[in-house]
Structure 1
Amino acid sequence: MEQHGVLQQTVTLNNGVTMPLLGLGTFRLKGLENLTRAVDAALECGYRSFDTASVYRNEGDLGQALHQLLPKYGLRRSDIFITSKLSPADLGEGAGKACLRSLTELGCDYFDLYLIHWPGKQGWRSDDSRNRAAREESWKAMEDLYQSGTIKALGVSNYTETHLSQLLGSCRVPPAVLQVEFHPLLPQAALLSWCKRNGIHLQAYSSLGCGDLLEKEEVKKVANVYGCTPSQILLKWALRQGVGVIPKASAPERITENFRVWDLELTNSEAEDLNGDGTEKRYCWDPTGVA
């Protein structure tokens, strides 16, 4: 797929669905004006994938922005890829209705990808054994929506290898995507390898370490070599491993900058230099204790 002279890089998921490897994340993007400005800049430079979630409370504004702007670029709903996620509050029996509510908010008939956002239910302790049953109930509801065409691909977010193994042991439709925190200080090599062996595409969030990694000397050093930005280096670090990225940005110039990574090539040595000393650092949530 080529838009405005930019080759859109994609991955084919395990069910045959094609997904862009680079999308616009919308975490903490609030308000119709802000969403419209961000989506306009994204569509103009070539983004065709947009990631949101029920807990972001911006599905309605994102839907309005897309409805308004797609005609401007000669695009239709089928030209873009929309991902949303099930709120932890709706894990369990409320999953199916929650997905349909999100679709109504966005003004869409289907999701390209729908994820369970967190392996535990809001309000329950992490070690509560009911979490596993709630995950399974949610997945069954999502499978029904998948079979009806309401969801084109199913996935999960913040799952560990244990959670994924449990899911594969009980599901009718295997997950196509795992979305997790992933960056040079949390490379999750074992999890990435496991996903590749099991045909699950890994997608990174917090690729910039909540901005902290932009100031790391080793990142700035490689960026200086190529005359590019630290954010471009960090995104390319993931993309070169076949990992998708969904960087959040609100400023049009930053959105455009993040998209211009395809011509950048890092050597194996440079990529290795970006890694830390082996001490893993999480900037977001840790799901390892969720039963």
Structure 2
Amino acid sequence: MRNLILNDGNIIPIVGFGTYKSQNQEGIESVISAISNGYSLIDTAAIYGNEEAVGKGIKASGVLRKDIFITTKLWRESLGYKSTKIEFEKSLKRLNLDYIDLYLIHWPANAKNYDNWQKTNADTWRAMEELQAEGKIKSIGVSNFFQEHLEALFQTANVIPSINQIEFHPGYWQQELVEFCKRQNIVVESWSPLARGKVFGNEVLKAIANKHNKSVPQVCLRWIIQHDVIVIPKSTSPRRIQENMNLFDFELITAEMELINKLQEMGFSGELPNIWPDRI
């Protein structure tokens, strides 16, 4: 497994396990399966409604806490200094953990939903900085932040976000935002890596997959990590969970990377951080 070093010195695997829509017993079993197949980065969020299941899966895996990297996220309707502290403690309790490895603001406040969105994000971030200083969070970061949201946050932040988790997949990979984050030493993490299933019928991806004797999802995930972007594919299928980890025995050549880079837009969720909760 390849790791990345965050700007705070903490180490994170470049391939993790997403748990979106994995709930109850199925969620518990999928986490156990993921950990048994070598995943150590597990990604959840308050809004997923499965933090308790994820926590149970971690405990049932038998793996030491120090060997697991847990991410969860603060939902966009809970922004603000006080509510961040309250919601964090709820997540910690549901996960049944003593600390969180990575805590993210799931979506930034924006002008459509807040009179002073800059202050709301700043207050939220200040609470997270304090929780990090107390040792309750190892790394703090954001999700779905555009450059405008990051630049506003920089005006008051004492800690630069370690990660920006964004929609990133073939057909929609936000190249300018990714380049901005890298200049700021912020690691990018991908959500929706398979473009909501739209990649499966793409002829370019199928041809590349056939050449490497790999699946289309494996090619997409490999393309992402070759951009030095973390990927967190989700699945409840033991076979697919294992397959999604087998990304390190092949490499895409430059020409293949460029072909995928240039694919026309597909699979875009329509979700934009500066206008939520509406979709375009």
Query: TM-score, normalised to structure 2's length?
Result: 0.94
The corresponding residue for 1:79 is 67
| Count of residues in Structure 1 that have an aligned counterpart in Structure 2 | 275
Q: Matched residue of 2:100: which SS?
A: coil
* 1:235-264 deviations in Å (ceiling 9; x for gaps): 011100100000111101000000000112
- Return the offset for 1:120: 2.4
Q: Which of 31, 40, 48 is residue 39 of structure 1 equivalent to?
A: 31
* 1:70-93 deviations in Å (ceiling 9; x for gaps): x2xxx2101000000001121113
The corresponding residue for 1:16 is 9
Unaligned runs of 5+ in 1: 1-7
- The one-letter code matched in structure 2 to 1:110 is Y
Q: Which of 244, 249, 271 is residue 258 of structure 1 equivalent to?
A: 244
Q: Which of 5, 19, 30 is residue 26 of structure 1 equivalent to?
A: 19
Q: Which of 64, 86, 109 is residue 56 of structure 2 equivalent to?
A: 64
Q: Matched residue of 1:112: which SS?
A: strand
Q: Is the 8 A contact 2:18 2:234 kept in 1?
A: yes
CA distance in 2, matches of 1:102, 1:60: 8
CA distance in 1, matches of 2:270, 2:93: 29
CA distance in 1, matches of 2:148, 2:115: 14
- The one-letter code matched in structure 2 to 1:11 is L
Q: Matched residue of 2:166: which SS?
A: strand
- The one-letter code matched in structure 1 to 2:181 is C
* 1:257-279 deviations in Å (ceiling 9; x for gaps): 00000112001111111234555
RMSD: 1.6
Residues 138-149 of structure 1: matches in 2 within 5 Å? 138-149=124-135
- Return the offset for 1:128: 3.5
Q: Matched residue of 1:152: which SS?
A: strand
The corresponding residue for 1:119 is 108
CA distance in 2, matches of 1:27, 1:284: 18
Q: Is the 8 A contact 1:181 1:284 kept in 2?
A: no
The corresponding residue for 1:95 is 84
The corresponding residue for 1:215 is 201
- Return the offset for 1:149: 0.6
- Return the offset for 1:206: 0.4
- The one-letter code matched in structure 2 to 1:67 is K
Q: Which of 203, 211, 214 is residue 225 of structure 1 equivalent to?
A: 211
Unaligned runs of 5+ in 2: none
- Return the offset for 1:141: 0.5
Residues 166-177 of structure 1: matches in 2 within 5 Å? 166-177=152-163
The corresponding residue for 1:159 is 145
Identity %: 35
CA distance in 2, matches of 1:128, 1:102: 24
- Return the offset for 1:280: 7.1
Q: Is the 8 A contact 2:102 2:138 kept in 1?
A: yes
CA distance in 2, matches of 1:209, 1:129: 33
The corresponding residue for 1:3 is none
Query: TM-score, normalised to structure 1's length?
Result: 0.91
CA distance in 2, matches of 1:90, 1:168: 21
Q: Is the 8 A contact 2:163 2:189 kept in 1?
A: yes
The corresponding residue for 2:255 is 269
* 1:120-153 deviations in Å (ceiling 9; x for gaps): 27xxx73643322211111010000000110000
